[in-house]
Amino acid sequence: MRGVIILSFLFLFFTVYTQEITVKDSLLVIRKNPEKGFQHDYILFIPEGTPVNKMTCLLVEPNNTGRPSDSIEVHKRAAIDLAAVSSVGNNISTMLKIPLLVPIFPRPASKALVYTHALDRDVMVRATGELERLDLQLIAMIEDARNRLAIMQIETEEKVLMNGFSASATFTNRFSYIHPERVKALAMGGFNGELMLPQETINGVKLNYPLGVNDFYKLFGKKFDRKVYMTIPQFIYMGKLDENDAVQFEDAYSNKERKIINTNLGREVQERYVKCQSIYRENEVQVIFSTFEGVGHWTTSEVNFEVIKFFFNQIQSKSSGKNE
């Protein structure tokens, strides 16, 4: 009888600790840690069913409050809602059973031109203190999250999946250029039809960050790694009715940037989207473009399903550069 009990215990042990999955959703708010490189809190959402003792992927979706505010609580509430309630990222995390990281980056109203949630030029060249190099702060959060997950016996790949919509899509787009070695695959939509371009000029006009890579070394102290960037599988989509246009507002782009975009890519969202598709294909970016009929600046179950399917294929792929 004692032998049966011992065997039963061993069976239970190996079921829980080697093959088990998390039994309920968990949402953790991780406090900022400047010594580790991040000066803001972040959220780690672990969905029910996340496998233990099995290599998986960490999903990252930059936060996007939708408006500036000097109250960090406003941004925190929006980030929690994004992580655990209503977002494409939460759908992906819940359906694919992978952990989700959402930073709680502020977007201060007192610094209206510093569009942190889109990782604009003002963030990279002017921001100091707690807003300095949010891209590096996000990497520090990713490493901290991976270490915490490892303690929970949830092993994650070094490269992350990234997802974004609207401003967070723009953040994702730009982050992938700066740190392509950290991105396994990405999906983004609702980005004003304007993408950062993997080239230094267009029609003889220099494309500085965030329009292109002309001054890349000056800003980041390294060359744009085109070879690695081209290995990132991307799913980029827009709603056919999406006319949400941040390009025409001064918090998103400077007058000089706006003129370059309007003149060389187009004044209308959908016009720019078509032009950017052409440029990405000419540059042989590994991308799937999709346009959804009857959809504006929002997502639908169909959109979410296509994004989830894309990431599922990337997780199943043995090579992060292989797009199935």
Question: pLDDT per residue over 137-147, tens digit each?
Answer: 999 999 999 99
Question: H/E element holding 236?
Answer: strand 234-239
Residue 285, in any domain of the structure? yes
Work out the pLDDT band at 318, boundaries 50, 70, 90. Answer: low
Most confident of 2-6, 83-87, 248-252, 266-270: 266-270
Mean pLDDT computed over every residue of the chain: 91
Q: Give me the mean pLDDT over the 178-184 stretch.
A: 98
Residue 29: which CATH number? Answer: 3.40.50.1820
Structure tokens at 269: 């969202």
Coil vs helix vs strand at 139: helix
Answer whether residue 5 is part of any domain.
no
For the segment 268-308, what is each residue's pLDDT rounded down to a tens digit?
999 999 999 999 999 999 999 999 999 999 999 999 999 99
Which tokens go with 12?
């239970």
| Per-residue pLDDT at 95 exceeds 90 | yes
Q: Does 1 fall in a domain?
A: no
Confidence check: pLDDT of 204 > 50: yes
**Is the pLDDT confidence value at 187 over 90?**
yes
Confidence of residue 20 (pLDDT cuts 50, 70, 90): low
Say how far apart CA 18 and CA 12 lie, in whole Å.
10
pLDDT category of residue 320 using cuts at 50, 70 and 90: very low
Q: Is residue 13 part of a domain?
A: no
Other CB atoms within 10 A of residue 316 CB: 9
| Mean pLDDT across 96-105 | 98
The DSSP secondary structure of 144-210, one letter per residue, reads HHHHHHHHTT--B-SSEEEEEETHHHHHHHHHHHH-GGGEEEEEEE-STT----SSSEETTEE--TT
Within-domain flag for 40: yes
Identify the pLDDT of residue 23. Answer: 57
Task: Kindly indicate the confidence band of residue 22, based on its pLDDT and cuts at 50, 70 and 90.
Answer: low
Decide: 93 and 48 in contact? Cβ < 8 Å: no
In the prediction, which pLDDT does 142 show?
A: 98
Residue with tokens 């959804």: 292
Residue 287 one-letter amino acid: V
User: Does 206 have pLDDT greater than 70?
Assistant: yes
What is the mean pLDDT of the segment spanning 84-102?
Answer: 93
| Mean pLDDT value of segment 184-194 | 97
Quick check: is 9 in a domain?
no
Tell whether the model's pLDDT for residue 1 goes beyond 50: no
- Give residue 119's pLDDT band: very low, low, confident or very high (50, 70, 90): very high
DSSP 5-38: HHHHHHHHHHHHHHS-B--S-EEEEEPPBGGGTB
What's the pLDDT at 127?
74
Rounded distance, CA 258 to CA 246, Å?
Answer: 10
The share of the chain scoring above pLDDT 90, in percent, equals 86
Instruction: Place 87 in a pLDDT band, splitting at 50, 70 and 90.
Output: confident
Buried b (16+ CB within 10 A) or exposed e, 83-100: bbeebbbbbbbbbbbbbb
Kindly state whether residue 10 falls inside one of the protein's structural domains. no
- Cα angle value 21/23/24 (rounded, 5°): 130
Structure tokens at 208: 């500085």
Does the pLDDT of residue 321 top 50, yes or no?
Answer: no
Residue 10 pLDDT greater than 80, yes or no: no
Domain of 105, in residue numbers: 21-316
Is the pLDDT at 242 greater than 90, yes or no?
A: yes
**C-alpha angle 153/187/43, rounded to 5°?**
45
Helical packing angle, 301-316 and 88-96, nearest 10°: 50
**For residues 276 and 10, which has the higher predicted lDDT (pLDDT)?**
276
Number of compact structural domains in the chain = 1
Assess if residue 57 is contained within a domain: yes
